[in-house]
Amino acid sequence: MRPNPILLTALIVLTVPAVLAESAGGLTWTAPDGWTSQPKRMRAANYVVPSAGGDNENGECGVYFFGPGQGGSVEANVRRWIGQFRAPDGGPADSLAKRSSDSFNGIAVTTLDLTGTYLFKPFPMARQATPKPGYRMLAAIAEAPQGPVFFKLTAPKATTDAAEAAFRKMLGSLKR
């Protein structure tokens, strides 16, 4: 009996790890090695970031694209993301936020780095937030041809610290 070439091809595809290239808004990027793609739940992409340094939770990196002219301004999103954190004393996290403007392969990107107590909500309109002290967020808004693409990694600080180079490499892989 001759082997079925379609089945052999499927077996090879399933057993050979591939670099995961994603896209949204007219941009493509390459997902970091070791990050697991999860169901998208209304996102362009969703990754589990493996825990590190004794952290007891994995991190998450969501990528969002809402369409041309959708998703709000860069400033509105930066303000909203800062509002999802509190300083260790329970006050606003504004002074803890580190914001910068970058360019990756000619694509303008605003980045945000923030450490504090993350006010986790399981879904955007949830009434109650669960405070998660010692969290760090790395976020970016890429100005894509079809509208902004939002990247947001939240995790315990040691996990985010360990994933920072991979997050920045993913941003560095952005292409039109």
Q: How confident is the model at residue 2 (pLDDT cuts 50, 70, 90)?
A: low
Q: Can you say whether residue 69 is alpha, beta or left, with left for phi > 0 and alpha for psi between -120 and 50 degrees?
A: left
Judged against a pLDDT cut of 50, whether residue 14 lies above it is answered with no
DSSP letter assigned to residue 39 = -
Report the pLDDT value the prediction gives residue 123, as an integer from 0 to 100: 86
Residue located via tokens 């914001």: 99
Q: What percent of the chain has pLDDT over 90?
A: 82
Contact yes or no for 145/174 (Cβ under 8 A): no
Comparing CA positions, the residue from 96, 62, 66 lying closest to residue 82 is: 96
pTM attached to this predicted model: 0.87
Mapping DSSP to helix (H, G, I), strand (E, B) and coil, where does residue 154 land? strand
Q: How far apart are CA 163 and CA 81, in angstroms?
A: 19
Judged against a pLDDT cut of 90, whether residue 29 lies above it is answered with yes
Residue type at 126? A
Contact yes or no for 95/87 (Cβ under 8 A): yes
Mapping DSSP to helix (H, G, I), strand (E, B) and coil, where does residue 17 land? coil
Least-confidence region, from 2-11, 103-112, 153-162: 2-11
Q: How far apart are CA 105 and CA 96, in angstroms?
A: 28
Residues contacting 129, CB < 8 A, separation 6+: 84, 119, 120, 121
